[in-house]
Structures are given as C-alpha cells and as structure tokens.
Amino acid sequence: MAIACFAMSITAMAQSNPKNILFIFDASGSMWGKLGNSTKIEVAKQTMGTLVQKLNSNTKAGLIAYGHRNSECSDIETLQPVAALDKTKFTATVRALNPKGKTPIAKSILHAITLIKAMNEAVTVILVTDGLETCEGIACDIIRKAKAEGIKITLHVVGFGIAEKDLSSLECAAQAGGGQYFPANSAEELATALEQSVKEVPKGDAFLSIKTTLDSKLKDAYIKVYKKGNPKDGFAGRTYESAATNPRILQLPAGTYDVEIRPVDIDGYATIKFSDLVIPAGDTTKRDIEFKQGIIETKITRNDALSDATVQVFLTGTKTSVANYRTYAKAETNPAVLKVPPGIYDIVITSAEMNGSVEKKFIRQTVVAGEKIALPHNFESGELLIGAKNAQGYVDATVVIHDLKTKKDIASGRTYQAAGSNPKKFILVPGNYRVDLMPVKPSGLAKKSITAEVTVNSKVEKIAEW
C-alpha cells in the first residue's frame, strides 16, 4: 500500500485549465462493477458532474463515450463536440449513459484525433477507463503517430478501479501523449485524479529518461519527479517491465528537480533519490537504475522432514523488517528463497509446528549482489501427550508445561472431556518437563503435577489420574 501511495500522491504542476478539453468516458459493461456501496458508473457520473462545475467558465469541453449502446467495438460516439461548456447539459449527458459494451480504447483515441484534426487547435484529451483494451488497436502507437504528424494533443489517462497489475499499455499511451497516468481506486481518488488531469500541463522543453533493471532485465518501478523542495507538486509514472514504458520518458520544463525511484515487489529496497538533478532545455537527461539482489535460501526441517516455519529478515541489530516468508511443509515452498538487497542481516526462523516459540537465529549474515547464501536448519523435537482421567472417564483440565532447565512455562493447553483432545499433544524441544494439570470438570478435583522426559523423535504419553 505504501508503494501505491508513492505513485498517487503527486499533483499536477500548474493551476489553470487547458483551453480545450475532450473527455473519453468509459461506458463499458464492467462499469457496473461494485465500488464500496455503489457502482463504478454511479461514482464516475457523480464525480464527473462535480468536476464540470469547477471548470473555468471559458473552458471548451467535449465528450466521447464508448460501450454505451451495444457490445460492438465500433460503439463510439461524440456526445458533445469541443465547444463552449454548458455545464448543465454536459452533466445531464453523462448522467444518461448506460454501460453495456466493450472497451475500444485505441479506436476511441483515434476517434478523438479525427475531431482534433478538424479543429486544428491544441486539445487535452482525458481518457477515463476501468479496464484495458478489449478490441483491436494499440493506443500508444496511435498517439505516437498523431504527435509525429504534428497533431496538438495531450493525453492523460485515469485508470479507475482497474484490477490488472500490468498497466503499461495505459502508461505508454499517457507517456506518448505527453501526459500522465493517474490511478484511482475510490471515489476520493477519482475526484483527485480528474482534478489533476484538467490542470494545464506546462510546456516541456526538456526530457528525463529513467530506465530500471534487475539482473539486466527490465524491472518495474515507481518514479516521482518534482521541483526541488516541493514533493507535492510534480509528475509520477511507472516503468513496468515493458520496453514501451521502460525507460520511462517524462517531458518537463527545464529546471532543477528531485527524483525518487522505488522498485515494485522487491522487499527491503529503500527509495533511490537524486537531489538537485539539473535537466537542461533541448536535451534528454538519462538515468539508468540497476537494482541489485542477493539470495537467502533456507531449508527448514524437523527431525529431518520438511517443516513449517516463519522466516524473518531484519537489518542487522535492528527490528527493521526487510522480508518475511513462511515455508510450510511442502517442497513447493521449502526451502525458502528470499531475494533482498545487498547488506548485512539477522535472520530469525521460528517453528510453526512446535510449542514454545522455538527459534533459530543467524546473526550478521552478509548478502552480496548476485550471490546466494544457504542457511538450512533442522529443528529437533519429540511428542508429549498429556491425558487426564478419573474412574468416570475423561477429566477436563488446563495444562501448563514447565521447562525444568530454563525454569520457564513454555506451553499450555486444555484436555477437555473428549477423545480428540484427551490426551492433548505437544511438540517440544528434547528435555525434561514438569506438567501442571488443573481440573475444570468435574469440579472439586485437586491440582496434579507429573514429570516427563522428551527425546528426539520420541512419543511420550503421560496420563494424570484422579
């Protein structure tokens, strides 16, 4: 969640609205999907209505919708051309949409470009979509071609409640259109994203190229770029693992910027920062970021059989968690393989099968980029079964197990009056124990204590009788 916020907290850099705005509104069938206590379409209609009321009075606005009439990929319609904004009419048009069809993003953008060609004016296009392309065409290529032909288009994309993880096709379209991709997964985030998208994008005369890799392969990362000293005012993007967006190229006004880069799905990586990065006019400033990892591999067994355990990795000497894992007792997940940045770590392995929080610690382990360290561990244990009976049958009793060596209570349980839990099974480290039993049912019985020795792989049964 923290990473998502990293990408979503940016605001657009300017304050005024573009002169000409053209909305492409998703009215595909998936917009009936639930969002909180409402549907995505209802939230989008309400949010769009609120946004329109805030637009400058001299703004010209148009509206294209897709998927609102049938399930054909050709269902794309200009509901309002780019013209003087009639806020009441515009809002009523949006309110009347009834989602039905598919998601022809590329065709919708091509439809918008045709309108813009006829206008011969600069237009900011804002695509609001709740999904990826479901028809033919590649939006990114269409935008690139239009820009190369000199068509004056800026494209922003608002991704609304999109379930897919790889949104590189939408990021690519926004990048090619000189705009931004804004994720929105709630009504509040949609309102913020739309407000950002209708702010004028300052003319960029410089470019910043960020390439992110891991083991020489493209690696997904979040990017935040902002004017020095103002982290809430800037641009955000994501590289993904696609050549279409990695390197991620941002068009910016020349100036001095701070840049933050954080990889996606790499545990323990601190944000990489570039401060006072000067991006000159008429040039492309490049930064290639190679994320590095080493591997911690630990095979966990108990009495030489695969065993369930948690594995925690901390920065050495601290409680700062870098990675967490659970091995379970199956070959698919055991041994644990944890990829972490190079560094020095403390690894804590805790048995999930044994009583008493049994741990194994590996302290100050050095992880080197591109290398693996193996830290196998075998827990030794035995079983202790504690029963409670009297002449009438099972006795329900609380059980506390005391380690005679450490002088600590290390496990507890209850026998109940049932064969499934009486005797009660405990899995313990080999050693000598005192077991205290306090009867619950029947009442009036006195406390009893018994001793037991547990050895490796043993199964010891002790029955307290009244």
Which tens digit of pLDDT belongs to each residue from 193-247?
Answer: 898 888 876 667 788 999 999 988 999 999 999 887 777 777 778 899 989 899 9
- Indicate if 175 and 162 belong to the same structural domain: yes
Contact present, 292 and 337 (Cβ < 8 Å):
no
* pLDDT (0 to 100) of residue 229: 75
* pLDDT (0 to 100) of residue 419: 94
Q: What is the 3-state secondary structure (H, E, C) of the chain?
A: CHHHHHHHCCECCCCCCCCEEEEEEECEHHHHCEECCEEHHHHHHHHHHHHHHHCCCCCEEEEEEECCCCCCCCCEEEEEEEEECCHHHHHHHHHCCCCCECCCHHHHHHHHHHHHHHHCCCEEEEEEECCCCCCCCCHHHHHHHHHHCCCCEEEEEEEECCCCCCCHHHHHHHHHCCCCEEEECCHHHHHHHHHHHCCCCCCCCEEEEEEEEECCEECCEEEEEEECCCCCEEEEEECCCCCCCCCEEEEECCEEEEEEEEECCCCCCCCEEEEEEEECCCCEEEEEEEECCEEEEECEEECCEECCEEEEEEECCCCCEEEEEECCCCCCCCCEEEEECCEEEEEEEEECCCCCCCEEEEEEEEECCCCEEECCEEECCEEEEEEEEECCEECEEEEEEEECCCCEEEEEEECCCCCCCCCEEEEECCEEEEEEEEEEECCCCCCEEEEEEECCCCEEEEEEEC
Residues 6+ away with beta carbon under 8 Å from 420: none
* 1 within a domain of the structure (yes/no): no
Residues 6+ away with beta carbon under 8 Å from 116: 22, 123, 125, 151, 152, 153
Report the CATH number at residue 218: 2.60.40.10
For residue 400 the two structure tokens come to 């506390």
* pLDDT (0 to 100) of residue 244: 87
* pLDDT (0 to 100) of residue 92: 96
* 10 within a domain of the structure (yes/no): no
Contact present, 151 and 120 (Cβ < 8 Å):
no
Mark which of 347, 379, 411 sits at the end of a domain.
379
User: Which residues form the domain of 334?
Assistant: 294-379
* pLDDT (0 to 100) of residue 407: 94
Closest CA to 373 of 311, 454, 280: 311
* pLDDT (0 to 100) of residue 74: 96
pLDDT-wise least confident of 3-17, 233-247, 447-461: 3-17
Mark which of 272, 291, 310 sits at the end of a domain.
291
* pLDDT (0 to 100) of residue 449: 96
Contact present, 224 and 259 (Cβ < 8 Å):
yes
**Average pLDDT of 437-446?**
95
State the average pLDDT for the chain.
Answer: 91
Of the chain, the percentage scoring pLDDT greater than 70 comes to: 96
- Indicate if 150 and 76 belong to the same structural domain: yes
pLDDT-wise least confident of 98-112, 150-164, 224-238, 428-442: 224-238
Q: How far is CA 375 from CA 57, 131, 306, 317, 372, in A?
A: 67, 44, 14, 18, 10
- Indicate if 232 and 374 belong to the same structural domain: no
**Average pLDDT of 327-336?**
96
Residue linked to tokens 């009297």: 390
* pLDDT (0 to 100) of residue 6: 40
* pLDDT (0 to 100) of residue 288: 95
**Average pLDDT of 380-400?**
96
Report the CATH number at residue 140: 3.40.50.410
Mark which of 250, 275, 291 sits at the end of a domain.
291
Give the number of domains in the chain. 4
The pLDDT of residue 363 is above 90: yes
- Indicate if 369 and 251 belong to the same structural domain: no
Range picked from 212-216, 222-226, 262-266, 421-425 for highest mean pLDDT: 421-425
- Indicate if 273 and 301 belong to the same structural domain: no
pLDDT-wise least confident of 195-199, 335-339, 441-445: 195-199
* pLDDT (0 to 100) of residue 3: 36
pTM of the model: 0.65
- Indicate if 259 and 325 belong to the same structural domain: no
* pLDDT (0 to 100) of residue 202: 66
Q: Which residue has the higher pLDDT, 14 or 22?
A: 22
* 4 within a domain of the structure (yes/no): no
Residues 6+ away with beta carbon under 8 Å from 139: 105, 106, 109, 133, 169, 170, 172, 173
| Cis status of the peptide bond prior to 335, with omega within 30 of 0 | yes
**Average pLDDT of 49-64?**
93
The pLDDT of residue 17 is above 90: no
